[in-house]
């Protein structure tokens, strides 16, 4: 059982402790560690695998409160961390609240995602960024995603196609709600 008074150092130590199988620790942290502690541990951790696991843990929670730390993790020099951060951002935006992202949240998140989309060269990360861009719910990214349909990497093209479909679904739902209201 994990101590509920966990510090970020406790979390990092638990994830970095030598063990043949880390899944039990990750599962316990996923269920019990406060998001604020996971986010602080993400900022404090020096090991790429630990940062990647922390992004995954935050992603399991779909925690919008950790978006600042996740957006910062998009600058990590390890692509696995960047990919996990982008995935956690997509989950937080898509599933992290009863409502779609607010316009103020969109204004905070979208410029950072767009900047990382422009500079990211790794297809693995770009494909997940495409999903994160769609999760913002702002149709202004449609031209960018349509252009990505011609990307030389299949995983980026497939993610762009899926993301365009998601944006189309969101637009259709919004239109229906506006007609009813």
pLDDT of the residue at 176: 43
**Can you give the length of the chain in residues?**
181
Q: What number is the average pLDDT over the span 42-70?
A: 97
Extract the tokens encoding 39: 């986010």
Residue range 134-154: average pLDDT? 96
160 secondary structure, DSSP code: H
The count of domains in the chain is: 1
Does 128 fall in a domain?
yes
φ, ψ of residue 145 to 5 degrees: the values are -70, -35
Q: Which domain holds residue 158?
A: 8-180
Q: Can you tell me the distance from the alpha carbon of 176 to that of 133, in angstroms, rounded to the nearest whole number?
A: 22
- Asked if the structure places residue 3 within a domain, the reply is no
State how far Cα 128 lies from the chain centre: 8
Structure confidence at residue 27 (pLDDT): 94
Tokens of 33: 């560690």
pLDDT tens per residue across span 113-131: 999 999 999 999 999 999 9
Please report whether residue 1 resides in a domain.
no
Q: What is the mean pLDDT of residues 92-100?
A: 89
What percent of the chain clears pLDDT 90, i.e. is strictly above it? 82
Tokens in use for 64? Answer: 């919008």
CB-facing half-sphere around the CA of 115: CA atoms within 13 A = 9
Q: For residues 81 and 48, is the Cβ–Cβ distance under 8 A?
A: yes
CATH (domain of 64): 1.25.10.10
pLDDT of residue 177: 47
Q: Minimal CA–CA distance to 97: which of 147, 62, 135, 45?
A: 62
- Specify if 2 maps to a domain: no
Asked if the structure places residue 51 within a domain, the reply is yes
**pLDDT per residue as tens digits for the range 16-31:** 999 889 899 999 999 9
Structural domain includes residue 165: yes
User: Is the pLDDT score of 3 beyond 60?
Assistant: no
Cβ atoms of 84 and 52 closer than 8 Å: yes
Please state at what angle helix 8-16 crosses helix 48-61, rounded to 10 degrees. Answer: 120
Q: How many CB atoms lie within 10 A of CB 111?
A: 11
For residue 159, what are the CA distances in angstroms to 23, 91, 128?
28, 15, 7
């Amino acid at each position: 059982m994990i101590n509920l008074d966990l510090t970020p150092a406790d979390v990092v130590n638990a994830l970095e402790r030598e063990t043949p199988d880390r899944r039990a620790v990750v599962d316990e942290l996923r269920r019990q560690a406060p998001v604020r502690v996971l986010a602080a541990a993400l900022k404090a951790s020096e090991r790429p695998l630990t940062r990647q696991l922390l992004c995954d843990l935050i992603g399991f929670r779909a925690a919008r409160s950790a978006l600042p730390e996740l957006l910062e993790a998009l600058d990590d020099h390890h692509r696995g961390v960047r990919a996990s951060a982008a995935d956690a951002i997509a989950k937080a935006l898509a599933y992290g609240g009863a409502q779609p992202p607010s316009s103020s949240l969109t204004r905070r998140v979208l410029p950072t995602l767009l900047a990382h989309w422009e500079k990211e060269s790794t297809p693995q990360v770009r494909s997940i960024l495409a999903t994160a861009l769609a999760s913002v719910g702002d149709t202004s990214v449609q031209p960018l995603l349509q252009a990505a349909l011609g990307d030389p990497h299949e995983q980026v093209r497939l993610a762009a196609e899926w993301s365009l479909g998601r944006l189309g679904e969101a637009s259709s739902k919004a239109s229906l709600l506006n007609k009813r209201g």
